[in-house]
Every structure is written in structure tokens, then in C-alpha cells.
Amino acid sequence: MRSLNRIAVAGIVICLFAGVTMGQEGESEGTTTRTMRPVVRGRHFAVASMKAEATRAAERILEKGGNAFDAIVAGQAVLGIVDAAMNGVGSDAVLLVYDAKTKKVYSINAEGTAPRLATIEWYKEHNGGKLPVNDSLLSGTVPGDVDAWYVLLDRWGTMSFAQVLAEAIDLAENGFPVGDSLSRAIAGGAQKLRKYPTSAKVYLPNNRAPQPGEIFRNPDLARTLKRLVEAEKLNAGKGRHAALKAARDRFYTGDIAREMAKFSEDNGGLFRYEDFANYTAKVEEPVSIDYRGYQIYKNPSASQGPAELFALKMLEGYDLKAMGLNSADYIHTSVEAIKLAFADREKYLGDMDFIKIPYAGLLSKEYAAERRQLIDQTTASLAFRPGTAEKFTSDTTPLDRPVKVTYAGDGDHDGDTSYIAVVDGARNMITFTPSLHSAFGTGVVMGDLGFIFNCRGDYYKLEPGEANSLAPGKRPRSTLQSTLVMKDGQPHMVLGTPGADQQVLLTMQTLLNMIEFGMNVQQAIEAPKWLTRAFPASPFPHTMYPGDLSVESRIPEAVRKQLLARGHKLRVTGAWSDGALAAIVVDLKTGVLNAGADPRVEAYAWAW
């Protein structure tokens, strides 16, 4: 009851400040002390996610004595129900973890893999040489979400699946009031969902999208989650590890896997039982750089996240603070660095089980200096310019890796994902980015299981030899990423956002707002943002729009004119249109937790 009271009070506070401004500490250049929402502060723990219900579920687990790893599983399980268009049991995911016991940062790669029947030749022979975008099982990859849950609970957690999935099961079985964004997403995706009877059954009851405030239920999903708990309980006598693994295995090697495989084969998909049985999420060493005394960590494999590190290494050579926040010089320099970093994303980043990524060169000061020389301070580049990072490694043999760029079609750089972060009393930190990739992923509810697969398979390239070319069992280079920051050996912050290709741009700007311009976490989230599509889109057909740049209308007109004069093809978006960020920052002097959430969306932060 105490937990419920806290959430209720917090809800009132957040609602009061959602449409008005309030004073905050930490006035900095280019900002005022006023924000649309308050920084939420606490001493014991903090949660920030895309939905209030998910934040509440994680908070409840922490109140019951669970740690951050228990809490984030509970929170994301609920997030997959109340933010069902964007993530769920069928999601892929990437995570960064700081383990307070070992004082070490880990990467968890829960990206999905391509079915063993999925080959470049198959798509050329059967699908006209095209990948279906955001639709059908032919755009899917194996879900990694459940295995991520298992890794978190088994390696670092303290609770059972029964405990952490209880609230998700309750919401799926007994229902919850539909939020505005979920109602809009179902209505917007109705045409896609109606193509598949199993999907229409779940998401279009009474042949229409549920309205905001209506009670929505997914009893099929509740039964699927209960099956995991049932397997755990049946194996409880064998010990906690065996019980957790039994729940995980029921999904990937048991009857759930067989049902997914049969449904796929019966409905034209390429997934077979072996694809699920052979899947495993991976715990990996992250990649990192030092940026002005801050250690910035990213997932190393099958993620675009390291491209932010490439850009930061270039930007480190400039006095960004002297340029001024969101000045023409600042935006132009940042955009030009991103173009170069994302050209290297296309050439170098992918699944490290299949390709070599020369991080020693990509993250070196020497390579950053060489790339920095390509930035013209007066003119926007319209070119696609990957570098030769391998010459700054011990093996200077050039990587013979083609990169095909297309300027035709309509490659979508914007997209949908979800996000949750947790920091607990021991200062374990987790940043968790789960996704269906686009609204409702493949669009296909898997039989009577109540969930949809992600459609990340439309990210592959169908050009042999490219870093992200399709191969059976390979993980696509995903746009999923987030950021974990250490300072002076201490856990300092976690932050992330939905946004497909734009995720790196948004987290980088938010990070720099804090490091370079001294903003607090909420100011950094709310500050005006810019975006660009001047690099190949991740989804097929991977279209690049040279010179493209968009800014929120809060960027002054004088700055916009200067950017136009430098050759940027400028678009102006709504004042609060670009971003869906959430973050938690640990004040290293006081130990106080500072949580922030983006007023552009239904994100919700809480701390105690």
C-alpha cells in the first residue's frame, strides 16, 4: 500500500507539471531553470521508462526487496503489454549492465537471429530481391526478450519468474485502461493487423481499435506467461538456476517453441523449431571511450550504438561549449560528425560472429583526427564517406568490404521502440531497449500465444559481402542502443530512447547537454533537438537523403538561416516533436539519484 500511495502522489505531481513549467536547479548556458517536468530525485532507487505502469511495476519489485535486475524484468514485461505496439515477448533487445558487486560493465546482446532458411538467394528467388518492410513473418527475427529476462535473473537477480511476471500476467489477464498512444497505434496499424486473423482477434476486438480508457485484455498472452511460471514451479526442487532455465527453455526448446515453429510453417514463414532451439542471448564485453573524463559504454555487436562513440571522438577535438548550445556552428559540426560516423556504421558495424570490426582503429584518436579533417565548417557535405579505420590497427590490411548506397525508394529513418532503465540502492544500473522495430512488428500474432515477433529482418542487406548482409543465424545490425556512463570509476548515468536510426543522435545530444553545457537530466532531455537522414536508412531499401537536416521549431530562426546558408536541406518540425528520452543520473557528490522523462511522450520517471 505504501508503494501505491507513492505512485499516486507522483502521478499527481507529474500531471501538475506536464503542461506548466517549474523551477529547477542548475541554470546553464542556453537554458533556463524551468522545465516541463521536474527532475524526480531519491536516495534509494530510480526507474524511468516509456510508460507509468512499467515504472510502477519495477518500483514495486524494488519495494519488495528485489534488486535492479529483478525490477527491470518486471518493468519490461509490463512495458510489453501497455506499450504493446512497440515491444513485447517477441522483441529483440540490447542491454547495458553495471554490476555493483564486480564493479564491471557488461553488454547483453538479445538481438534476434535470421532463420536458417533465410538467405539472400531465397529472397531473390521468392520475393523479387526485396525484404518486406515492417510486415509478415518474412521480416522477422527470433525473439530475444525472454532469454534476456533469463540472463538478468539467473546471473544477477534474486527473484523468480513467478514473482517478477506477476503484474504482467495480471494486466494481460484482467486488463488495463488503454493509453492514448496505444489506442492511436492500434488504430493506425489496423489495416496491417486486419490482414492476420490472429492479430485482429487480439488487437481489434469488436472490429475496432480500443478507445483511450477502455479496458484491454490479452488472455492468450497471460496464458503464455503462466506457462513459463508453471515450468519454473515444476522444477523448483532442482534449485533456482534449474527452475529459471526450465521457464526459459519452455519458450525456446519446449512446447511454446514447437507452436511458434508450426504456426510459422503453416503461414508461410521461414522459422522452424531449430531456429528457436539454437538461439541464445549473449553476454559480451562492451566498447567504450573516454570523453572528457566520462567513460561512455555501448553494445559492441549487432548494434549501431558504437557510431555515437565515433562521433564523440571527432567532436572531442572542438570547443563545443564555446560554440554555444544549438548555435549554427554547434549543430553543423555535430551533424557533419554524425554523417562520417554513420558512413562508418554502414561499412564496419554488424554481427561480430560473422564479421570483423576494427574497434582499435575506429575508436583511436588518430583515426578521429583524420576524420575530423573532412568536416568543412562552412559547407554541409552531401557525400557518403566511410573511412579506412583498419590502417590504425595492428593489422593494416584493407578490409575489402563493399557498401552499396541507394538514393531511391523510401527508407524510413524514424521508428518505434520502447525503453526502461533502473538503478537500485547498491547502484546496480541497467539500461534496457526492447523493440518490435516498427509498430506491431511483423503484424502477426503467433497463433494463440498472444504476441508478435519483431520485424528486424528488414534491416539486412541483400548485397553479399556487406557488413550487414543477410545470412542464416546472423543478427541484423540493429538501431537498438542506449548509453551507460561511468565517472571516476563510479556508476554515473544510464539513458536511452526509441527512434530507430535517430536513437544515436538523440542520446548523443542529451549526453552532451549534460557534459558540455551543465544541464540537469530533465533540462537535457527537454532541450530542442535536431535530426538528420543524410546516411542510409536501416530498413530496406536503405535510402539516404544527402544534406537532410531537421530541427525542432524552438531552434531560433537566425540559426536556421545560417544552416540553410551552409547548404543543409533544412526541415522544421514541431516544437516538441523529436525525442522520447528517459534517463537516470547518480550525483557522485551526494549519491542522490536524478531521474528524468521526456514530456514529448508518455514516459514516466520515479525515484525514492
What is the pLDDT, as a whole number, of residue 431? 98
**Is residue 135 one of the residues assigned to a domain?**
yes
Parallel, antiparallel or unpaired: strands 569-573 and 92-99: unpaired
Residue 26: band (very low, low, confident or very high) from pLDDT cuts 50, 70, 90 = very low
Task: Please check whether residue 553 is in contact with residue 576, taking contact to mean a CB–CB distance below 8 angstroms.
Answer: no
pLDDT at 29: 41
For residue 575, what pLDDT is reported? Answer: 97
Q: How far apart are CA 206 and CA 208, in angstroms?
A: 6
Whether the CB-CB separation of 566 and 15 falls below 8 Å is answered with: no
Contact in structure between 83 and 416 (CB atoms under 8 Å): no
60-65-67-70 Cα dihedral, nearest 10 degrees: -60
Query: 500: left (phi > 0), else alpha (psi -120 to 50), else beta?
Result: left
Predicted confidence (pLDDT) per residue in 152-172, tens digit: 999 999 999 999 999 999 999
Task: Tell me what pLDDT residue 13 has.
Answer: 36
pLDDT exceeds cutoff 50 at 14: no
Q: How many domains does the chain have?
A: 1
DSSP-derived secondary structure for 84-136: TTT-STT-EEEEEEEETTTTEEEEEEE-----TT--HHHHHHHSTT-PPPS-S
Query: Taking residues 484-512, what's their average pLDDT?
Result: 97
Region 401-426: mean pLDDT is 91
Give the mean model confidence (pLDDT) for residues 401-412. Answer: 90
pLDDT (tens digit per residue) in 528-547: 999 999 999 999 999 999 99
Render pLDDT for 259-285 as a digit per residue (tens, 0 to 9). Answer: 999 999 999 999 999 999 999 999 999
Peptide bond preceding 541: is omega within 30 degrees of 0, i.e. cis? Answer: yes
472-476: average pLDDT: 98
**What's 576's DSSP letter?**
T
Max Cα-Cα span within the chain: 71
pLDDT of amino acid 136: 97
Assigned domain for 181 exists: no
H or E element that contains 270:
none
Summary mean pLDDT of the chain: 94
Res 33 pLDDT > 80: no
Q: What is the pLDDT of residue 6?
A: 37
* Residue 67 pLDDT greater than 60, yes or no: yes
Which pLDDT value is given to residue 24?
35
pLDDT of residue 49: 98
83 pLDDT band, cuts 50/70/90, is very high
Mapping DSSP to helix (H, G, I), strand (E, B) and coil, where does residue 171 land? helix
Averaged pLDDT, 573-582: 97
Residue 195 lies in a domain: no
pLDDT class of 369 with cuts at 50, 70, 90: very high
Q: Is 379 a residue whose pLDDT tops 90?
A: yes
Indicate if 33 belongs to the active site: no
**Residue 199 domain-assigned (yes or no):** no
pLDDT higher at 390 or 8: 390
Grid coordinates given for 166? 506477476
Does position 435 have pLDDT exceeding 50, yes or no?
yes
Q: In this model, does residue 201 exceed pLDDT 90?
A: yes
Residue 374: all three cell numbers together:
573532412
| Whether the predicted pLDDT of 197 surpasses 80 | yes
Alpha helices in 110-254 (DSSP H): 120-126, 145-155, 161-164, 166-174, 180-188, 190-194, 197-203, 219-234, 240-252
Confidence of residue 7 (pLDDT cuts 50, 70, 90): very low
From the list 417, 433, 497, 543, the catalytic residue is 417
Cα(554)–Cα(576) distance, integer angstroms: 8
Give the tens place of pLDDT for each residue, 120-137. Answer: 999 999 999 999 999 999
Quickly state the pLDDT bin for 411 (edges 50, 70, 90). confident
> Domain for residue 188, yes or no?
no
182 assigned to some structural domain: no
Q: 27 falls in which pLDDT band (50, 70, 90)?
A: very low
* Parent domain of 475: 1-175+217-608
By mean pLDDT, which of 27-36, 231-240, 421-430, 570-579 is the weakest?
27-36
Residue 431, burial from CB neighbour count under 10 angstroms (0-12, 13-18, 19+): buried
**Dihedral sign for Cα atoms in the order 168, 172, 173, 178:** positive
C-alpha to C-alpha distance for 404 and 120, rounded to whole angstroms: 15
Q: How confident is the model at residue 387 (pLDDT cuts 50, 70, 90)?
A: very high
- How far is 8 from 495, CA to CA, in rounded Å? 25
**Class of residue 564 by CB neighbours under 10 A (exposed 0-12, middle 13-18, buried 19+):** middle
Residue 20 has pLDDT above 80, yes or no: no
pLDDT at 11: 40
| Per-residue pLDDT band at 415 (split at 50, 70, 90) | confident
Predicted confidence (pLDDT) per residue in 294-318, tens digit:
999 999 999 999 999 999 999 999 9
Q: What percent of the chain has pLDDT over 90?
A: 92
Mean pLDDT, rounded, for 482-511 = 97
Q: State the Cα–Cα distance between residues 292 and 314, nearest whole angstrom.
A: 12
**Least confidently predicted of 3-17, 350-364, 512-526:** 3-17
Residue 198 lies in a domain: no
Does residue 203 belong to any structural domain of this protein? Answer: no
pLDDT band at 32; cut points 50, 70, 90: low
The C-alpha atoms of residue 317 and residue 296 are separated, in whole angstroms, by: 16
